Amino acid sequence: MQIKELQENGALIDPESVKQACQLILECKGKVVCSGMGKSGLIAQKLAATFSSTGTPAFFLHPGESLHGDLGVVQPDDLILLLAKSGESDEVVQMLQVIRKMGNKVISILGNPNSSAGRMSTVIVRASVSREADSLNLAPTASTTVSLVVGDALATAVSEQKGFQPENFALYHPAGQLGKRLLLKVEDLLDASV
């Protein structure tokens, strides 16, 4: 089901909106503030980590917590990247109302471009699905997969435009197998006593 939805959504994505979203991220002088509620929030957390490790400073802001003081982390040069299926969650709508007053630009990856969130967005990248993968057509499954793929595509396109190189990635990701593969030198493997 997820593969089918990815294939169908690919035909719905407007290349111009993707280009505009990438341009806004490239022009961002602050950080990319990734946000979403529920399962969309979990995908937004992952995207914040992907952007950060590929050369675009980013962090996650929970819409509910944002309304209880955490909006103070958003600075004038920051860009909001919102993920939402319906675009109608109370916390998301209230957060965007305040963000509009603050003057920050908003890129939204939305399942419902005609939503309240869509009307408050600078750029909308459509991420609609005709159905979820579960038998009840309720659990965010196909929709989260499509949002993740769209977000990863934005992050990698921006990273490429910035000229992000393996040595940059190694600096931000020194641990684990990725870091080891990027940082390990032949002399590190040689026994110092030989």
β 106-110/123-126 pair status: parallel
**Could you give the C-alpha distances from 105 to 123, 126, 146, 166, 191, in angstroms and in order?**
8, 17, 23, 30, 54
Q: What is the pLDDT along the chain (194 residues), one digit of tens a residue?
A: 667 777 776 657 889 999 999 999 999 999 999 999 999 999 999 999 999 999 999 999 999 999 999 999 999 999 999 999 999 999 999 999 999 999 999 999 999 999 999 999 999 999 999 999 999 999 999 999 999 999 999 999 999 999 999 888 888 888 888 877 887 776 666 665 55
pTM over 0.95: no
> Which residues, other chains included, contact 171 with Cβ-Cβ below 8 Å and sequence gap of 6+?
none
Domains of the chain with bracketed CATH: 2-163 (3.40.50.10490), 165-194 (no CATH)
> Which residues, other chains included, contact 89 with Cβ-Cβ below 8 Å and sequence gap of 6+?
37, 38, 63
Q: Are 193 and 58 in contact (CB under 8 A)?
A: no
Task: Take residue 45 and report the two structure tokens written for it.
Answer: 């957390």
Tokens 């940059």 identify what position?
168
